[in-house]
């Protein structure tokens, strides 16, 4: 049995932000959500989140995670003070407590599991996750005796020049035997440079305290400022892209591509340069995405191509070709083997199979059947200034270039719309509609008061 506590009460002054630091997004998920996710591997029986700065907002953001217990730290007097707030909540709790800073978002679940295993096997009072950093600046330094038992942790700002040479740092991830911890927490003082209660000071009163070095030090990158946030994003991206390449995805010029770790790709997907895939997106085998494409929260079937396009909250079935320069703006469903082409914008529109919308169109609130051909420049006039109205276009229908379909309007199946028509009324199946004025040709015509030249 293990409980988890996440420190999420600080403002994160160095972020220079109104938003609490732990709510800053990293690849589509907030820092604190990432920390919470990394705890799943140890199956905690209780998860406590210590909130303070903008507590309401933090709780709101974490709403989707059920069974979280919130503990208020109304004044942020340091990480030790934050853990002191748990005392009334964990009264009678006799097991281990895993504590994580809310700003350590890259931790691998296995690492946490190893830390806990070592803690339990050795019956430690505390086990501290540590790392050897090439540049330990800013982190607390961990000092051990010859038996690898931790004697003290000294914050960077409290270190002497000699102590700063120690590159073994505290990752901000700990296991504590709670009954022992509960006894020593009241002993913390504020005699340090920041005049805060440091959680790290408990090691002076506990025994034994062991340090466990993480294998990949990039995992414990803590986020204190925007530069570290950017570094963490890079680390995350390398991890995600390496994993997909190992799984059979081609990434051409990976440095110019970003992929959220919520995305799912099948083998033999090809991601071309300057492409960004975000959120809850799935891409089927054989699809070629990019260059210059952004896809968010969308399903892309197999063997689809998406070239220089933006696709959001949409679905594209197998064999369709999207772009160049298409914008599927949301709630768009494209059937199989369609072509959605150059400078086409679709919104809340369903397109059947084998249908083409190939050039210069806007279709909104529309339903198109199969084998429809939308001529260049066809527009649905779906908005009357107050309300949106629907357009339906039956299977096999063709619209001529520059047609305007004034919604609400229904075109039946196998309708032909003459080029340049403004269609305002429904058209039955199997009909030609011409809705434009007839061409007039006046032979030999001159303006009345044309100047006569000799
Ligand atoms: C802390 C550690 C440092 C370690 C580093 C790892 C202490 C004293 N120092 O330093 O040894 O190397 O993390 O990243 O713990 N928080 C609260 N309430 C408070 C203060 C902070 O909940 O009163 C939360 C913050 O929201 C944050 C976490 O605790 O999520 C860590 O606080 P931060 O100020 O970033 O600590 P560091 O200076 O990075
Ligand atoms: Ca920190």
Average pLDDT of the chain to the nearest whole number: 97
| CATH superfamily entry for domain 247-433 | Hexapeptide repeat proteins (2.160.10.10)
- Burial of 188 (C-beta count, 10 Å sphere; 0-12/13-18/19+): buried
Our answer on whether the CB atom of 73 is closer than 6 Å to any ligand 1 atom is yes
Our answer on whether the CB atom of 50 is closer than 6 Å to any ligand 1 atom is yes
Cα 418 from Cα 375, distance rounded (Å): 10
CA of 370 from ligand 1 middle (Å) equals: 59
Our answer on whether the CB atom of 101 is closer than 6 Å to any ligand 1 atom is yes
Residue pair 335/355 in contact (Cβ under 8 Å)? The answer is: yes
- Which helix (H) or strand (E) segment holds residue 60: the answer is helix 55-61
Our answer on whether the CB atom of 8 is closer than 6 Å to any ligand 1 atom is yes
Catalytic entry in 24, 81, 359, 389: 359
Cα 52 from Cα 9, distance rounded (Å): 4
Nearest ligand, CA 104: 1
pLDDT for 450 equals: 80
Residue range 44-95, pLDDT digits in tens = 999 999 999 999 999 999 999 989 999 999 999 999 999 999 999 999 999 9
Fold of 2-220: Spore Coat Polysaccharide Biosynthesis Protein SpsA; Chain A (3.90.550)
Our answer on whether the CB atom of 141 is closer than 6 Å to any ligand 1 atom is no
CA of 273 from ligand 1 middle (Å) equals: 38
Our answer on whether the CB atom of 81 is closer than 6 Å to any ligand 1 atom is yes
Nearest ligand 1 atom to alpha carbon 8: 26
Our answer on whether the CB atom of 78 is closer than 6 Å to any ligand 1 atom is yes
Nearest ligand 1 atom to alpha carbon 81: 23
Nearest ligand 1 atom to alpha carbon 197: 8
Nearest ligand, CA 102: 1
CA of 187 from ligand 1 middle (Å) equals: 19
The number of helices, as runs of H, and strands, as runs of E, in the chain is 7, 39
Our answer on whether the CB atom of 139 is closer than 6 Å to any ligand 1 atom is yes
The partner residues of 321 in beta bridges, in order of sequence, read 305, 339
pLDDT band per the 50, 70, 90 thresholds, residue 448: confident
pLDDT at 107 over 80: yes
CA of 222 from ligand 2 middle (Å) equals: 5
Residue pair 203/189 in contact (Cβ under 8 Å)? The answer is: no
Mean pLDDT over 177-204 rounds to 97
Our answer on whether the CB atom of 167 is closer than 6 Å to any ligand 1 atom is no
Contacts of 24-30 spanning 24+ positions with Cβ under 8 A: 24/223, 24/229, 26/105, 26/223, 26/229, 26/232, 26/233, 26/236, 27/233, 27/236, 27/237, 27/240, 27/258, 27/260, 27/261, 28/260, 28/261, 28/262, 28/278, 28/279, 29/262, 30/61
- Residue 94 Cα distances to 97, 123, 205, 448, angstroms: 9, 13, 19, 104
CA of 101 from ligand 1 middle (Å) equals: 6
Nearest ligand, CA 75: 1
Residue nearest to atom 8 of ligand 1 (CA): 198
Per the listing, tokens 């968010």 go with 296
Share of the chain above pLDDT 70, in %: 99
pLDDT at 453 over 90: no
CA of 104 from ligand 2 middle (Å) equals: 7
Residue range 151-189, pLDDT digits in tens = 999 999 999 999 999 999 999 999 999 999 999 999 999
Cα angle for residues 276, 281, 285 (degrees, 5° grid): 90
Per the annotation, the verdict on 327 as an active-site residue is no
Nearest ligand, CA 221: 1
Nearest ligand 1 atom to alpha carbon 222: 14
- Domain ranges, ordered by start, for the chain: 2-220, 247-433
pLDDT for 324 equals: 98
pLDDT for 148 equals: 85
pLDDT at 37 over 90: yes
| DSSP reduced 3-state for 235 | helix
The closest alpha carbon to 171, from 137, 213, 208, 210, belongs to: 213
Residue nearest to atom 14 of ligand 1 (CA): 222
Cα 351 from Cα 62, distance rounded (Å): 37
Residue range 338-371, pLDDT digits in tens = 999 999 999 999 999 999 999 999 999 999 999 9
pLDDT for 205 equals: 97
pLDDT at 312 over 70: yes
Nearest ligand 1 atom to alpha carbon 198: 8
Nearest ligand, CA 172: 1
Cα 92 from Cα 101, distance rounded (Å): 24
pLDDT band per the 50, 70, 90 thresholds, residue 454: low
User: What are the b/e assignments for 128-142, b being 16+ CB within 10 Å?
Assistant: bbbbebeebeebbbb
Our answer on whether the CB atom of 10 is closer than 6 Å to any ligand 1 atom is yes
Tokens standing for residue 437: 């004025």
CA of 92 from ligand 1 middle (Å) equals: 26
CA of 177 from ligand 2 middle (Å) equals: 23
């Amino acid at each position: 049995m293990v409980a988890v506590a996440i420190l999420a009460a600080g403002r994160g002054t160095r972020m220079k932000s109104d938003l609490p630091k732990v709510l800053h997004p990293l690849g589509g998920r907030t820092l604190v959500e990432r920390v919470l996710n990394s705890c799943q591997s140890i199956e905690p029986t209780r998860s406590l989140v210590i909130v303070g700065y903008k507590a309401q907002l933090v709780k709101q953001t974490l709403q989707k995670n059920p069974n979280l217990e919130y503990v208020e730290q109304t004044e942020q007097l340091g990480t030790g003070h934050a853990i002191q707030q748990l005392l009334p909540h964990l009264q009678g709790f006799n097991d281990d407590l895993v504590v994580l800073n809310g700003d350590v978002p890259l931790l691998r679940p296995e690492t946490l599991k190893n830390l806990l295993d070592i803690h339990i096997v050795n019956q430690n009072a505390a086990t501290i996750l540590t790392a050897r950093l090439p540049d330990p600046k800013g982190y607390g330094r961990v000092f051990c005796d010859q038996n690898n038992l931790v004697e003290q942790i000294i914050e960077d700002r409290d270190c002497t020049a000699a102590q700063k040479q120690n590159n073994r740092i505290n990752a901000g991830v700990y296991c504590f035997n709670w009954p022992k911890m509960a006894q020593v927490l009241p002993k913390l003082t504020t005699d340090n440079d920041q005049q805060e209660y440091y959680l790290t000071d408990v090691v002076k009163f506990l025994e034994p305290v062991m340090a466990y070095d993480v294998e990949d030090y990039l995992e414990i990158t803590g986020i204190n400022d925007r530069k570290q946030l950017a570094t963490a994003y890079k680390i995350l991206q390398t991890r995600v892209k390496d994993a997909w390449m190992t799984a059979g995805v081609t990434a051409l010029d990976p440095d110019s591509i970003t992929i959220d770790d919520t995305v799912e790709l099948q083998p033999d997907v090809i991601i071309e340069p300057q492409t960004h895939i975000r959120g809850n997106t799935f891409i089927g085998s054989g699809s070629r995405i990019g260059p210059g494409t952004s896809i968010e929260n969308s399903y892309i079937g197999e063997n689809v191509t998406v070239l220089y396009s933006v696709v959001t909250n949409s679905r594209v079935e197998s064999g369709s070709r999207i772009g160049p320069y298409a914008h599927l703006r949301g709630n768009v469903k494209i059937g199989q083997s369609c072509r959605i082409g150059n400078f086409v914008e679709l919104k809340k529109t369903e397109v059947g199979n084998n249908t083409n919308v190939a050039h210069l169109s806007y279709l909104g609130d529309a339903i198109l059947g199969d084998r429809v051909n939308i001529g260049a420049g066809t527009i649905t006039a779906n908005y009357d200034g107050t309300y949106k109205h629907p357009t339906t276009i039956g299977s096999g229908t063709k619209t001529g270039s520059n047609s305007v379909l004034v919604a609400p309007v229904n075109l039946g199946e196998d309708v032909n719309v003459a080029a340049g028509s403004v269609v305002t009324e429904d058209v039955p199946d199997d009909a030609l509609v011409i809705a434009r004025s007839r061409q007039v040709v006046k032979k030999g015509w001159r303006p009345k008061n044309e100047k006569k030249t000799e």
